[in-house]
Amino acid sequence: MDRRQTREALRLLESHQPFVRAVVVRSTGSVPGKRGASMLVRADGSCLGTVGGAALDEEVKAFARAALERREGDLRHFELQAWTVGGLPSLCGGSVDVALEYVPARPNLLLWGGGHVAHALAALLPTLEYDFSVADDRPDWVGDDRFPTADRREVVGPEALWERFDPTSFTHLYVLGYDAMKDLEVLAGAIARFPNAIGLIASTSKREHLFALLRDRGVARSALERIRSPVGLRIGAESPAEIAVSIVAELVREAHPSTLPRRGREVPASVPEGDVVPRAP
């Protein structure tokens, strides 16, 4: 990989964007792109670099876009012989194998609420190189003493959350607040402005109450389906630390969908009717 591609790959990783790196791993005969020739393909279809130009580049870009949609890599063989069945419109005469490495977007979480679950998450996320920021309207619950590894720690109310944070810069929002009505305002703003995954930690009764209030405000049921509640994988989690583990496990699973058995989707983690997550006074 040349320096331009290295810099661009780092930029995409830091900006939490997925991409595909295509590399010629084998070549025979006369080919324009020798072994090691590479190209980065971004989520918007744009690219940097070349694996040989002309029809080969276009074919590889198409397979890279498919890999981005499937969220898994691939290995493809190309004959650069226009006179053979299935060959590309090329007169080079050789062939190449191109490996397509899918690089997922590194998670960047916004945690609304600096309580016990958020604190437990903050201990796990850096070990996976997942980025996160924390927002709360209580200064004592969002300081650097509680979240020293957070990218940002903001004391802000629900009404100004999306003025302080760019909603498009985060891959996940987790609503972990201590006040149901403030959580309601965060959810209402997120449905309108946050484009990615939304998680809500709540008991069954709290969740249904909040959803009913959102429907009363005109929020469509299809929009409410974007909100994951309960959050995390179903592992019997009860304590804040266990719930944090279940959330992180779900994030890891999202990053590697092609490695999972195709026997159906895991049921999310359940939170008992009595909210067992300790709440701040």
Write out pLDDT tens, residues 178-233: 999 999 999 999 999 999 999 999 999 999 999 999 999 999 999 999 999 999 99
Domain that holds residue 230: 108-259
Confidence tier at 84 by pLDDT (50, 70, 90):
low
Rounded Cα distance, 14 and 131, in Å: 9
Q: Are residues 119 and 255 in the same domain?
A: yes
Does residue 280 register a pLDDT over 50? Answer: no
Instruction: Let me know: does 163 contact 175? Beta carbons within 8 Å.
Output: no
Comparing 266 with 116, which gets the higher pLDDT?
Answer: 116
pTM: predicted TM-score of the whole model, two decimal places: 0.78
For CA atoms 121, 124, 130, 133, give the dihedral sign: positive
Average pLDDT, the chain: 87
Backbone angles phi, psi at 36, to 5 degrees: 100, -15
Q: Are residues 222 and 252 in the same domain?
A: yes
Q: What is the pLDDT of residues 86-134, one digit of tens each?
A: 656 566 668 889 999 999 889 999 999 999 999 999 999 999 999 999 9
Number of structural domains found in the chain: 2
Q: Which amino acid is at 3?
A: R
Q: Are residues 118 and 160 in the same domain?
A: yes
Instruction: Let me know: does 89 contact 160? Beta carbons within 8 Å.
Output: no
Half-sphere exposure of residue 120, counting CA atoms within 13 Å on the CB side?
A: 17
Q: Are residues 79 and 134 in the same domain?
A: no
Measured between alpha carbons, how far is residue 26 from residues 94, 96, 98, 99 in Å? 11, 6, 7, 9
- Length of the chain in residues, anyone? 281
In what helix (H) or strand (E) does residue 198 lie, and over which residues does it extend? strand 197-200
Q: What is the pLDDT of residues 229-254, one digit of tens each?
A: 999 999 999 999 999 999 999 999 88
CATH number of the CATH domain containing 223: 3.40.50.720
Comparing 79 with 215, which gets the higher pLDDT?
Answer: 215
Return the residue matching tokens 């930029």: 11
Does residue 28 register a pLDDT over 80? Answer: yes
Is the residue at 182 inside a domain? yes
Does residue 35 register a pLDDT over 80? Answer: yes
Q: Are residues 65 and 79 in the same domain?
A: yes
Q: Are residues 234 and 126 in the same domain?
A: yes
Is the residue at 116 inside a domain? yes
Which of 63, 79, 103 is the endpoint of a domain? 103
Give the residue from 51, 105, 101, 56 showing the smallest Cα distance to 74: 101
- Is-cis flag, bond preceding 104, omega within 30? no
Rounded Cα distance, 187 and 193, in Å: 10
